[in-house]
Structures are given as C-alpha cells and as structure tokens.
Amino acid sequence: MENFFTYNFYLALAPWLVFAVLSLLAVIMMKLAKKRRGIAIAFAVLVQVLLPDPLVEKTITMVVSEKRAIKKQQDEDGGVKGLIKIRVKKAE
C-alpha cells in the first residue's frame, strides 16, 4: 500500500517537475542567447526543425501570394529582375 501512495505522489508531481525543468532551461537559453552563444542558436534551430509549424498552411499561402505579387510587378516593370528598382530623375 505504501508503494501505491508513493507512485501517485510522483505521478502528481511529474507535470510540475517537467514545467520547472523547462522553465530553467528557458532561462539558461535566454541568458546564452543574449550573449550570442552558438549553443543557444543551435538549440533554437533544432527546435524549429523538429517541432511542426502550427500555421504551415497560412505560411505557404502567404509565400505563394508574395511570389505572385513579385512576378506580377516584374511583368509590369518590363521584366526587371530584382526587388528594388531605382528611378533616376532627370535634371531640369
């Protein structure tokens, strides 16, 4: 019976321990990121690669619409390849 209560105690305590460990990890990573350490950047890239983007469909549609707008603008400008078109005013 004693083992049963110990198991339930640790089972109830587990989410709080996970939360505390992740909070501590976040604080450490923020300190390392402020110092521009490579480990923080590598960790962020790893997390970004492994965790899915919840708004992936919205992101894809935004990228596609931006590409269409750029292509349409390039067609209107006469096929200028580049994002910035510099207009030079003639001196009067």
User: Residue 1: which pLDDT band, with cuts at 50, 70 and 90?
Assistant: low
Distance separating the N- and C-terminal Cα atoms of the chain: 97
Using alpha carbons only, give the angle 34, 49, 66 rounded to the nearest 5 degrees. Answer: 95
In the chain, the number of structural domains is: 2
In a domain, 89, yes or no: no
Q: Is residue 81 scored above 60 in pLDDT?
A: no
pTM of the model: 0.47
Asked whether residue 38 falls in the same domain as residue 68, the answer is: no
Give the chain's length: 92
pLDDT over 90 for what percent of the chain? 16
Domain range for 64: 53-81
Alpha-carbon span 51 to 26, nearest angstrom = 16
Asked whether residue 2 falls in the same domain as residue 46, the answer is: yes
24-69 confidence digits (pLDDT tens): 999 998 998 888 888 888 888 888 888 877 777 888 888 888 888 8
Asked whether residue 9 falls in the same domain as residue 37, the answer is: yes
In a domain, 6, yes or no: yes
Asked whether residue 28 falls in the same domain as residue 2, the answer is: yes
Alpha-carbon span 4 to 13, nearest angstrom = 14
In a domain, 86, yes or no: no
